[in-house]
Amino acid sequence: MREIVDHVRSWQAEGEHVAIATVLTTAGSTPRPVGAKMAVTASGKIAGSISGGCVDADVIEHAVEVLRTGRPEIIEYGYSPDMSWEVGLMCGGSVQVFVEPVDAAYTPVGAGWLDTLSHRAGDPVSGT
């Protein structure tokens, strides 16, 4: 968790726009638990993982779109035998992912969101 927060702060200091993807719900077998996070910049920098596989690539595309529009999204991934050409989870489970911009210009939470995230992870809160 701390690695993502540090990356987000660093990227924002460089003027990057950042989106965070968070696993909201899971069912069955999934690669990452509820709360797993991935940070994505508009220029394509990435920290963290949602699935460690093809779902991450799709989430990155959604994150870039969220940064373009400023509108958060909820995306669902699962698996069925009919999904030959769709992005899904081969492990048989399903996940719901929330993708949100974290830049102060896009969200009312602003910079305080990072301190809250860091605090919930048990990390010391910096004075930014």
Range of the domain at 27: 2-120
Position 95 in a domain: yes
Report the helix count and the strand count for the chain, using DSSP H and E: 3, 5
Place of tokens 């660093």: 10
Q: What local confidence, expressed as pLDDT, does residue 109 receive?
A: 43
**126 domain residue, yes or no:** no
pLDDT in tens, 3-45: 689 999 999 999 999 999 999 988 877 778 888 999 999 998 9
Which pLDDT band holds residue 50 (cuts at 50, 70, 90)? confident
Tell whether the model's pLDDT for residue 66 goes beyond 90: yes
DSSP class per residue in 106-121: T-TTTTHHHHHHHHHT
Percent of the chain with pLDDT over 90: 35
Q: Are 66 and 19 in contact (CB under 8 A)?
A: yes
Q: How many structural domains are present in the chain?
A: 1
- pLDDT, the chain, mean: 76
55-82: average pLDDT: 85
Question: Is residue 105 over pLDDT 60?
Answer: no
> In the block, which residue shows the tokens 């081969």?
90
Residue 11: inside a domain: yes
pLDDT tens per residue across span 108-126 = 444 555 555 555 544 444 4
Q: In what order do the strands lie in the sheet with 46-48?
A: 46-48, 37-41, 18-27, 94-101, 73-77
Say if 125 falls within a structural domain.
Answer: no
Alpha carbons within 13 A on the beta-carbon side of 125: 11
